[in-house]
Amino acid sequence: MSQKQKIKSGDTLSQIAKDRGTTLAVLLAANPSIKNANSIRVGQSITIPTKQMSPGDAQRNPYKGTTRTELKGIDSQKQQKKNNTKGPSIDSKANTEKRSKSATRMMKMRKATERYRSKG
């Protein structure tokens, strides 16, 4: 027997698993259409399997049975939510190029300022 639950804004599968006394791995197994634990949408309906664990197990470790790759994705999502950011990470190639261009502009401005001061 299982129940259905609609995803609300701010919901995460790990929090739903913890609240329902199950694990993320069990939720993912019950919802084979979810390929990535981080890609759930508001309004999406998920299946919540009946409790198969003893009380307190999920409160201790809702990530039991979750792979490292899945955990990295969850951690990245939490970090983006915490920092209120989306999109490429700080170390992405695009951001590295932006930082490099900015540093080059700053160096040129300093040199121009030094030249101006030395003339007067």
Q: How far is CA 85 from its chain centroid?
A: 10
- Distance in angstroms (rounded) separating the CA atoms of residues 105 and 5: 52
Using one digit for the tens of pLDDT, what is the confidence trace for 54-76?
A: 555 545 666 677 777 766 666 66
Mean pLDDT of the chain: 77
| Confidence band of 25 (pLDDT split at 50, 70, 90) | confident
Which DSSP state fits 11?
Answer: -
Residue at token pair 């199950």: 22
- Distance in angstroms (rounded) separating the CA atoms of residues 100 and 34: 39
The three-class DSSP label of residue 78 is helix
Using one digit for the tens of pLDDT, what is the confidence trace for 5-21?
A: 999 998 999 899 888 88
Among residues of the chain, what percentage have pLDDT more than 70?
62
Among residues of the chain, what percentage have pLDDT more than 90?
15
- pTM for the whole structure: 0.45
